[in-house]
Amino acid sequence: MGKKKTLWETYTPEQLAAANAFCEDYKVFMSNCKTERECVSGIIDLAEEKGYRDLNELLKEGTELKAGDKIYVSNRGKMMMLVQLGECTFKEHINILGGHIDSPRIDLKPTPLYEDSGFGLMKTHYYGGIKKYQWLALPLALHGVIAKKDGRVINVVIGEDPSDPVFGITDLLPHFDKDMRTKPIGTAFTGEDLNVSFGSIPTEDGEESSVRKNILNILKEKYDMDEEDFLSAEFEIVPAGPARDYGIDRGMIMAYGHDDRICSYTSALAQLAYADTVTKHTLVSLLVDKEEIGSVGATGMQSRFFENAMAEIMNLAGEYTELNMRRILSTAKMLSSDVTNGFDPNYASIHDKNNAPFFAFGPTLHKYTGGGGKGGSNDASPEFIAEIRKIYDDNEIRFQLAELGKVDGGGGGTIAYIMGNYNMDVIDLGIPVHSMHAPWETASKVDIYEAYRAYKAFLEFM
């Protein structure tokens, strides 16, 4: 890698300015959108500005869809799809981008609140692959929704405004952590220990005095929430605070949830960039939930949401038949986009340096992911990779082709294999990050912008 130049050196001044401007918007998005729901509503806001319309409304009106029409589909507010019909509508292959918008975090349990020794605490159950010790003694925020029995859904965000209080999980002082210190890192701290400190002031009613009751009074007053409402609430504990520039030269961004909003945001923005033109092929961006826990459930990639929504859109375009549907799924071309494990000099030993993704060299194509002999991976065809190489070389887009890490060193998966089940051409293309799955992850600004360019070129030329 030593002789090749980074994007910092090869970008023109105009490209550098565009990359910086793009990343300013990305930081705003990342600071405001820390749950899958917040990502869906954030992207829908951007799509509506570009003339996208809700599929549900189009269905109600029975609107006939034609080339150039732009549709968004939300699945329970936690997973979504953008579709822009091209000249070919559904008569030729469609081009798909996909990423996930769920990130590792700590969820509240259904009955979370208890009091112990003068503290009001919340029991939690972590979501996705976290290293538990990383979440101790950090400012944390609470994001989520309360679904009331009367049908109202109340949004809650506490800990992001500088005037808000924050929450946290306590750590043990080094003076007295001898037992913890001698244990392996994976067992020193258990999931049941991840209790969030939530309050410390008791109510003022004598013997009945309780911190717990005081917390419930505050929740009632501010959010019209009763204790039973925890049963139908979805509360996520995430790192508090905005995304920020990282490094004295401001070349990187530190944010919560780069995995995988960094690919989801850039994919969605790439598609929205074509809102004012009629493209040749139909464009699709899929932003999915539940990837971090196996792509399961109604809002995960394995659900029938994608094909059901596509069937509705094909039907409104007058092109739905079972056979057409099968053809569209099996001839589609897809970039499944997820972050990759950027080479880190602090942990060089986990990589084969000749096959490692580096910061500032552009998005990374993964022919395969998986682990233990490519287990569980979607192994992309070389013919498909050749098509992508041609598009990127013709349009001067930088990319790398790499592995996640050393053979038998570990592994990881994405949504690629699930789309592969439709028999479509799909390959992983992701942005390198450091500290993946930590509360604060980092990535290079030029990789973010180059990925955006790469998604745009794929949509236009594939």
What residues line the site for Mn ion (CB under 5 A)? 259-260, 338
Length of the chain equals 462
**37 vs 281, which CB is nearer to Mn ion?**
37
Spatial distance between the Cα atoms of 267 and 459, rounded to a whole number of angstroms:
10
For the bound state, the minimum distance from the C-beta of residue 436 to Mn ion, rounded and expressed in Å, comes to: 6
For the bound state, the minimum distance from the C-beta of residue 100 to Mn ion, rounded and expressed in Å, comes to: 6
For the bound state, the minimum distance from the C-beta of residue 106 to Mn ion, rounded and expressed in Å, comes to: 15
Spatial distance between the Cα atoms of 288 and 311, rounded to a whole number of angstroms:
18
**128 vs 139, which CB is nearer to Mn ion?**
128
For the bound state, the minimum distance from the C-beta of residue 61 to Mn ion, rounded and expressed in Å, comes to: 37
For the bound state, the minimum distance from the C-beta of residue 334 to Mn ion, rounded and expressed in Å, comes to: 16
CA distances from 80 to 9, 121, 305, 389 (A): 37, 34, 9, 29
Compute the Cα dihedral for 106, 108, 112, 116 and give only its sign.
positive
> Which amino acid type is present at position 322?
E
**260 vs 425, which CB is nearer to Mn ion?**
260
For the bound state, the minimum distance from the C-beta of residue 338 to Mn ion, rounded and expressed in Å, comes to: 4
CA distances from 266 to 186, 187, 207, 355, 452 (A): 34, 37, 56, 24, 5
Q: Which of these, 48, 46, 72, lies nearest to 59 by C-alpha position?
A: 72
Spatial distance between the Cα atoms of 76 and 169, rounded to a whole number of angstroms:
30
Phi, psi for 427 (deg, rounded to 5)? -145, 150
Phi, psi for 261 (deg, rounded to 5)? -70, -20
Spatial distance between the Cα atoms of 190 and 20, rounded to a whole number of angstroms:
41
Phi, psi for 249 (deg, rounded to 5)? -90, 0
Spatial distance between the Cα atoms of 339 and 438, rounded to a whole number of angstroms:
13
**301 vs 317, which CB is nearer to Mn ion?**
301
- Count the Cβ atoms, other than its own, within 10 Å of residue 174: 9
**260 vs 447, which CB is nearer to Mn ion?**
260
For the bound state, the minimum distance from the C-beta of residue 339 to Mn ion, rounded and expressed in Å, comes to: 5
For the bound state, the minimum distance from the C-beta of residue 364 to Mn ion, rounded and expressed in Å, comes to: 13
Spatial distance between the Cα atoms of 288 and 303, rounded to a whole number of angstroms:
10
- Which tokens is 207 given? 């013997």
**338 vs 344, which CB is nearer to Mn ion?**
338
For the bound state, the minimum distance from the C-beta of residue 232 to Mn ion, rounded and expressed in Å, comes to: 27
Nearest-5° angle of CA 441, CA 443, CA 445?
145
For the bound state, the minimum distance from the C-beta of residue 443 to Mn ion, rounded and expressed in Å, comes to: 13
**236 vs 260, which CB is nearer to Mn ion?**
260
Q: Strand runs (DSSP E) across 128-189, as ranges?
A: 140-147, 153-158
**58 vs 262, which CB is nearer to Mn ion?**
262
Phi, psi for 96 (deg, rounded to 5)? -120, 135
